[in-house]
Structure formats: structure tokens, C-alpha cells
A = this chain, B = another copy of it.
Amino acid sequence: MAFHPDGWSTGNDTGRRVPGRRVPVAGRRPSRATEVQEAVKDIILRRGLVAGDPLPTESELMEELGIGRNSVREALKVLQAVGIVDIRHGFGMFVGRMSLAGFVDELAFHSRMTMQDERNHLGHLIEIREVLESGLVLRLIDSLDSGDLPAQLAPIRDVIEQMRAEAAVGAISPETDRLFHDLLYRPLRNPLVGQLLGAFWQVYHELRDDLGTPDESPADVARTHRDIYRAVLTGDRAAATEAMREHFAGVRSRLARLARG
């Protein structure tokens, strides 16, 4: 992985770098791409840019840093992969919004890779998601203004209704499921929660097809989600914990069957 050794900053490179000129000095190697990455991050931080702000063009970067275009491009691609910059073909580069897309890729890939063996990455991921959601739902109950709960939870109620409707005519769409878990924790006002859970959710659903058919019916799924909603509505912490456990029971059994078969 890319290490960024500290003690390099002093000493040798004070200023411009002549393209084509190689420094034969025996020392560590802050690869060109790494240099560019650090430089771009530095520019963003130093200039106090925010997500969406325009960044220097490729040409400007190659000139300012005295580095070839390919290296610049490699670095930018990496920064794009980790969601730090946003590249738009024919338009320019911009400070990126946090997307966790790279995180999803990594988790999804390694989960798929270890699906059949004992390490079972996906199972571990689900366990973490369960722990997280179980804790979050309690925090949600604590944080809700007890004044007008139904109004605050109205969006959730709508999703539950939608879910029930879909279950009645067939299967619950992934989008509806995702929407539930996204909306539920929104009152916590912690956008990272939504993003992280979204990432977990996405990994699960990318690999869902590789798992067998679910043990529970769509109606069961709708019911467990409704139970979570009701527990939050009534502020019943124990019921919320139990409902969350129920919700993940189906997932667990599906995974367990995979491990056996």
C-alpha cells in the first residue's frame, strides 16, 4: 500500500524538477504519483476549497510540479478512486464529495473472494452492520424530540406502507429497503451514518444474488421493518433491540446456509 514516509520533506527537493532529469541520489522513493496526490490534497486544504470547487487542470499540474502527464493522470485516477477528486471528462476536475465508492469496491470484492471459504467476509460485514444499526436505533430513540414523534417519523411510515404494498404484490424492491435504512437514521443528523450504512447495504446487495433464495417471505420482511418503526415510535428500547435482531435473523440464516452448502 502507499506509504507516505515522513522524513523526506527536508533536504533534496527545493523547487523545480526538470523533466527528463533523474536524480540518482540513493534514497527513499516518493513516487511521482504519490507526490502529485499529496500536492493536490495540499492545494485543496491550503486554499480551503470545498466539495465541488474546481481544481487546476492536468496541464497546470504537470507544469507546476514538473511531472509528466501520465504520472499526473495516474495520481488523479487514484484520488478519484478514493473519492477525493471528481473528474469530469471534457469539463475539468473538482473537489470530490465523499462517496465511499472505493470502500464499497474493496469490501464487495474481498467479500466475493472469500465467500466460499471459512473466512466469510460477508458474514463479518453483516455482523458489524447489525451491531451498528442496533446501537443507532437506540440512539435514535434517545435523540428524537418527544414532542411530535409521528410527524418526525412520517417519512419512515410512508416507506413502511410502500414496503407492505410491494410485499403484497410480489417482492420488496431493493430501493425501498435501502430507503428505509437511510431515512430511519436521518434524524440523527449524522450524514456519515447514512453513507456508511449505504456502503454496507450496497455490498450486501451486490452479492445478494450469489446467496440462495431468502428464507423469509416479503411479508415477513415488511413485518420486521414495521416492528422497528413501531418500536421507535413508542420509544420502546427493548422492542427496538429485539426488532433489529429479528430483522437480521433472516440475513444470518441465509448466510449460514451458504457456509454449510
Residues of A within 8 A of B (CB): 1-2, 33, 41, 44-45, 49-51, 70, 73-74, 77-78, 80-84, 86, 95, 98-103, 105-107, 109-110, 112-113, 117, 119, 121, 124-125, 127-128, 131-132, 134-136, 139, 190-193, 196
Contact = CB atoms under 8 A, between A and B. Distances in A.
B78 A106 contact: no
A161 to B, nearest CB: 28
Contacts of A121: 98, 192
A228 to B, nearest CB: 16
Contact of A105 (B74, B84, B113): B84
A102 B106 contact: yes
A163 B107 CA distance: 33
A83 B99 contact: no
Given A113-B45, A125-B192, A135-B134, A83 B106 contact: yes
B82 A192 contact: no
Given A103-B106, A127-B192, A134-B135, 16 more contacts: A1-B99, A2-B80, A45-B112, A50-B117, A74-B74, A77-B78, A78-B80, A84-B110, A95-B113, A100-B103, A103-B103, A119-B191, A124-B190, A124-B191, A128-B193, A131-B139
30 contacts: A1-B83, A1-B86, A1-B99, A1-B101, A33-B77, A41-B109, A44-B113, A45-B112, A45-B113, A49-B113, A50-B113, A50-B117, A74-B74, A74-B77, A77-B77, A81-B81, A81-B82, A82-B103, A84-B110, A102-B102, A102-B103, A103-B106, A124-B190, A125-B192, A128-B190, A128-B193, A128-B196, A131-B132, A131-B136, A134-B135
The interface residues of chain A, by DSSP majority, are classed as: helix
B78 A124 contact: no
Contacts of A139: 131
B82 A105 contact: yes
Contact of A109 (B73, B84, B193): B84
Interface centre among A2, A110, A117, A125 (most CB of B within 10 A): A110
A102 B82 contact: yes
Contacts of A191: 119, 124
A32 to B, nearest CB: 11
